[in-house]
Amino acid sequence: MENRTEQRTHRPPRVSTRIKNSTKPKFVVAEPAFYLCDACHRLLIEENPSDSDLDIRCCGQSMQKLTARDETDADAAAHRVDMVISGGFDANVMTVTVGEPAHPMQAEHHLEWIYLHTFQGGQIKFISTENVAGATFALSDKDAYVYCDRLVCKGNRCKFNCKRGFTAYAYCNEHGLWKTTM
């Protein structure tokens, strides 16, 4: 009988990244302000904006402060921002889609970027005209906060609004900035 020594791989115990606090986290920064240069299309995101408008300059001229358009606008259906949460306790994702039906993604009319404002700050995704009109954002740590692990929370839509206050911004090259708060 041959003596075989089996090599066992040691796996460290799984450590939960779930927030230990049972109360909803506070937002670390206020909703951002967005500035766009008309000449070079450079984007500036100001976290914790002040009440007074800044004169931010680029290419020798003032950058335009973007103002989100209202959902009652005539172009609102094409720019309706929808947010869907999926995942569990330790990590979840938010999928942001734009338009009903989907926003056009041609060279002359398309989404350029989507920004998600969360408990801990924000994330931005730049979108190619080859992609669909949407983006998926990974949420972890305090941004992954959930009330419970009931099936209703793990489904396609969280019924308890754990992410209430998250805001998605979508920028269309033809119609400007659109905003939806959960």
Query: Where are the chain's structural domains?
Result: 28-66, 68-181
Give residue for tokens 């009109």: 133
Which residues in 30-133 belong to E strands, given as ranges? Answer: 33-36, 43-46, 57-58, 61-62, 64-66, 81-87, 92-98, 111-118, 121-126
Supply 168's token pair: 């998605």
Q: pTM here?
A: 0.79
- pLDDT digits 0-9 by tens, 76-99: 777 888 888 777 666 688 889 888
Residue 87: Cβ within 10 Å count: 17
- pLDDT digits 0-9 by tens, 37-53: 999 999 999 987 777 77
What CATH class has 68-181?
mainly beta
